[in-house]
Structures are given as structure tokens and as C-alpha cells.
Amino acid sequence: MYKKIEKSPNVTMHEASELYPDSHILLQMNEAYMLNPVGIVLYVGDDHDELFASQVDRPAPNGAVFEGINLQCKYSLVGIAVSERN
């Protein structure tokens, strides 16, 4: 399930993930190829695939779907990788 966000200001991907920390976010980017995308948040929801599929019916040619900060942390493996050299 997802909901439309009315009157979203221009935000970076990181700012959007902090505004909606427990949601998946559909961001309409201002430009297609940016290192840290900037745009407006169109929709937030609880299902990544549903939001991604919703772009088919919406005018979001530069849309990006990503996770809020809490969802990113939930699945991250925090730590240090150490490899042994012989």
C-alpha cells in the first residue's frame, strides 16, 4: 500500500530517506544521472515492488524507488571485513 505526497519540496535521496525512515520512497529526480539524486517525493509505501510497478501508470520517467533510513539499517551488515593474505 502506498500514499501520495502532496507538495513535496526538492530533497536529496538521503534527506527523503530521513523524512520517511520507515517507508519505501518514489522520488521523481530532476536529472536522470546524478550521484546523489535530487527531486520531489511522489509516493511512499510499505512495498518496494508495488511502488516500482506504480511508475508504469504515472508520469515519472526519472523515478527512483529506494528505502528509508530505518529499512536500510535493518538489512545492513555493519562491521569490518577482514581478509587473510598468505
Bridge partner list, 67: 24
**Is 83 within a domain?**
no
The reply to whether 82 falls in a domain is no
The dihedral sign for the CA sequence 70, 74, 79, 85? negative
- Please tell me whether residue 25 adopts helix, strand or coil conformation: strand
Between 82 and 74, where is the model more confident?
74
- Its domain, for residue 10, covers 2-75
Does any domain span residue 86?
A: no
Angstrom distance (rounded) from CA 39 to CA 63: 9
Which one-letter DSSP state was computed for residue 58? T
Structural domains of the chain, count: 1
The reported pTM is: 0.76
Classify residue 80: in a domain, yes or no: no
- Asked, for residue 69, whether it belongs to a domain, the answer is yes
Residue at grid coordinates 536500510: 72
The model's pLDDT over 11-70, given as tens digits with 9 standing for 90+, comes to 998 899 999 999 999 998 888 777 778 999 999 999 888 888 887 777 767 888 888 888
C-alpha cell at 68: 528509508
